[in-house]
Amino acid sequence: MSAPLRRRRLTVAGTVAALALVVAGCTSNTPQDTPDEGTARAAVPGTENDETGDTVTIGFSAPAADHGWMGAITRAAVAEAEKYEDVELVQAEATNDVNLQISQIEQFINDGVDAIVLLPFDGAALTEVAHQAMEAGIVVVNVDREFDDPNAARTTVLGDNYGMGVSAGAYICEQLGDQGDATVAEIAGIDSLPLTQDRSQGFADALSECGLEVSNRVAADFTVQGGEAAAANLLQAAPELDAIWNHDDDQGVGVMAAIENAGRDEFIMVGGAGSKNVMEAIQADDSVVKATVVYPSTQAADGVKLARLLVQQKAMSDLVEVEVPRMIQLYAPVVTKANVDEYLPTAFES
First to last CA, the chain: 34
Per-residue pLDDT band for 194 (boundaries 50, 70, 90) equals confident
In a 10 Å sphere around its CB, with 0-12 CB exposed, 13-18 middle and 19+ buried, how is residue 132 labelled? middle
Give yes or no for residue 178 having a pLDDT over 70: yes
At residue 208, the pLDDT reads: 95
Give yes or no for residue 5 having a pLDDT over 70: no
| pLDDT, the chain, mean | 87
pLDDT tens-digit map of 295-310: 999 999 999 999 999 9
Considering just the CA atoms, what is the radius of gyration of the chain in Å? Answer: 21
Give yes or no for residue 9 having a pLDDT over 50: no
The fraction of the chain above a pLDDT of 90, given in percent, is 78
Distance CA 258, CA 253 (A): 9
Give yes or no for residue 12 having a pLDDT over 60: no
Give yes or no for residue 293 having a pLDDT over 80: yes
Beta bridge partners of 243: 184, 268
Numbered ranges of CATH 3.40.50.2300 in the chain: 3-159+297-331, 161-294
At residue 111, the pLDDT reads: 98
pTM to 2 decimal places: 0.79
Q: How far is CA 205 from the centre of its chain?
A: 20
At residue 148, the pLDDT reads: 94
User: What would the mean pLDDT of 224-242 be, rounded to a whole number?
Assistant: 97
Question: In this structure, how many other beta carbons lie within 10 angstroms of the beta carbon of residue 168?
Answer: 29
CATH of 161-294, one of 3.40.50.2300, 3.90.79.10, 2.60.40.10, 1.10.10.60: 3.40.50.2300
User: What would the mean pLDDT of 213-223 be, rounded to a whole number?
Assistant: 95
| Cα angle: 11, vertex 143, 195; to 5 degrees | 65
At residue 31, the pLDDT reads: 34
Give yes or no for residue 15 having a pLDDT over 70: no
More confident residue, 139 or 51: 139
- The fold adopted by the segment(s) 3-159+297-331 is Rossmann fold (3.40.50)
At residue 17, the pLDDT reads: 37
User: What would the mean pLDDT of 261-265 be, rounded to a whole number?
Assistant: 97
At residue 109, the pLDDT reads: 98
User: What would the mean pLDDT of 90-94 be, rounded to a whole number?
Assistant: 96
Distance CA 273, CA 256 (A): 15
The fraction of the chain above a pLDDT of 70, given in percent, is 87
At residue 16, the pLDDT reads: 37
At residue 2, the pLDDT reads: 40
At residue 24, the pLDDT reads: 35
At residue 210, the pLDDT reads: 94
More confident residue, 62 or 350: 62
User: What would the mean pLDDT of 265-289 be, rounded to a whole number?
Assistant: 97
pLDDT tens-digit map of 247-260: 999 999 999 999 99
pLDDT tens-digit map of 150-160: 999 999 999 99
pLDDT tens-digit map of 21-72: 333 333 333 333 333 333 333 333 445 788 899 999 999 999 998 889 999 9
